[in-house]
Amino acid sequence: MPNDPVLRVEDLTVRFTRRNTNVAAVNGVDFALQAGETLTILGESGSGKSVSLKALMGLLPAYAGVTGKVWLNGQEILGLPATALAKLRGGAVSMIFQEPMAALDPVYTIGEQIAETIVQHEGCDNRTAMKRALGLLEQVKIPSAERRLKNFPHEMSGGMRQRAMIALALACKPSVLLADEPTTALDVTVQIQILLLLRQLQEELGMAIVFVTHDVGAAAEISDRIAVMYAGRFVETGTTRQVMRHPMHPYTQGLLSSTVHGGMRGRALETISGSPPNLAELPPGCAFAPRCRYAADACRQGDIPTVTTETGATARCVRAKEMADA
């Protein structure tokens, strides 16, 4: 690797302990992200994608136990005091959300909200901040930006709101953008616009993006690398091409073959039987074993080793080698 990564995560673990239940939401996640690179965390609901992002931002409630190490631009950020963390949030790292309607304050105009963030981080006066807000709206390609600046969130369409949300997140030129399913609540036609916009902004600003989604199509469109998450673990990682073309983990294979696309005409749609495991009582061994059609005895005991291929892709599966060859 030529440069130091902007974001490096090592053994990130999140536990929710309440009364007698101990929910293992994230179980040791590792990744590193270079500037200008997009990593997609792909997984179904409840696999720990969003929790991982919130753990990175320090947004989890106090009863969540977060351990591991996170370096942002070489600085260790996990366990920083609240004031230091507040400076980083929105500055070096910011976040966009799934529901732009809920993530924007209904009583302020778009311009006021963006300006507020800028004033907060840079301490400039309101007039300058408003001018910057106008520039940001133009950057995210909102038509007649000057007028939109004075709009309330409810006066805009879903796609426009998400653009405004992105403008808000970009207000202080973050080096890492965390995107929590930003296209899930949008129409497909708007989805692709937002994805293209994110790619273009990434090229202009050189930021790294962690993109969380359950949509295989969106993941294929935006990512450089994909990490497939299941039960709080990365079960497979690799470049987009590696994961999409040669999935090694049975879960990834199931996920891909249960996605509808044009190339599947005439074939029966496959589904993954069963449902995700209860995170409060994870089975020993591979968490996917109960649903896996290739499961062997070795899958149900001990730690599952992570297999790395010559090309750098990894899979947490006992039979990864056979799968790759098949």
Partner 1 sequence: MSDITLQTQLVSRAEAPAAPPPGYWKSVGQRLLRDKTTMAVSLLLAAILFITLGAPLVTHYDPYVGSVLTRLKPIGTPGHWLGTDETGRDLWTRLCYGGRLSLLAAILPVTISLIVGGFLGILAGYAGGWTGTLIMRTMDVFYAFPSILLAIAICGLLGNGLSNSIIALAVVFIPPMVRVSETVTTQARNLDFVEAARASGTTTLQIIRYHVLANVLGPIMVYATSLISVSIILSAGLSFLGLGVTPPQAEWGLMLNSLRQAIYVQPYVAALPGLMIFVTSMCFNLMSDGVRGAMDVRLNK
Cβ neighbours around 193 below 10 Å, total: 17
* Contact of 240 with 224, CB cutoff 8 Å: yes
- Is the Cβ of residue 169 or residue 195 nearer to partner 1 in the bound state? 169
| Residue of the chain from 32, 35, 59, 185 that contacts partner 1 (CB under 8 A) | 59
Nearer to partner 1, 116 or 215 (CB): 116
> Tokens for 37?
């690179």
Nearest to 57 by CA among 12, 15, 103, 106: 12
Asked if residue 198 lies in contact with residue 222, where contact means CB atoms within 8 angstroms, the answer is yes
Task: Supply 89's token pair.
Answer: 């949030």
- Is the backbone of residue 252 left (phi > 0), alpha (psi -120 to 50) or beta? alpha
Asked whether position 16 contacts partner 1 by CB under 8 A, the answer is no
The secondary structure of the chain in percent helix, strand, coil, rounded to multiples of 5, reads 35, 25, 40
110-122 and 126-139 helices, crossing angle to 10°: 120
What is the smallest separation between the CB atom of 57 and partner 1, expressed in angstroms? 5
Q: How far is the CB of 85 from partner 1 (least distance, A)?
A: 8
By CB under 8 A, what part of segment 163-192 binds partner 1?
A: 165, 168-169, 171
Q: Using CB under 8 A, which of 27, 94, 175, 223 touches partner 1? A: 94
Q: Any contact of residue 251 with partner 1 (CB under 8 A)?
A: no
35 binds partner 1 (CB under 8 A): no
Measured distance CA(229)–CA(59) in Å, rounded: 20
* Residue placing its CB nearer to partner 1 in the complex, 114 or 289: 114
Out of 17, 76, 102, 200, the only residue in the binding site for partner 1 (CB under 8 A) is 102
Find the binder of partner 1 among 2, 74, 106, 263 (CB under 8 A): 106
Residues found near partner 1 in the complex (CB under 8 A): 57, 59, 82-83, 86-91, 94-95, 97, 99, 102-109, 116-117, 120-121, 144, 146-147, 150-152, 154-155, 165, 168-169, 171
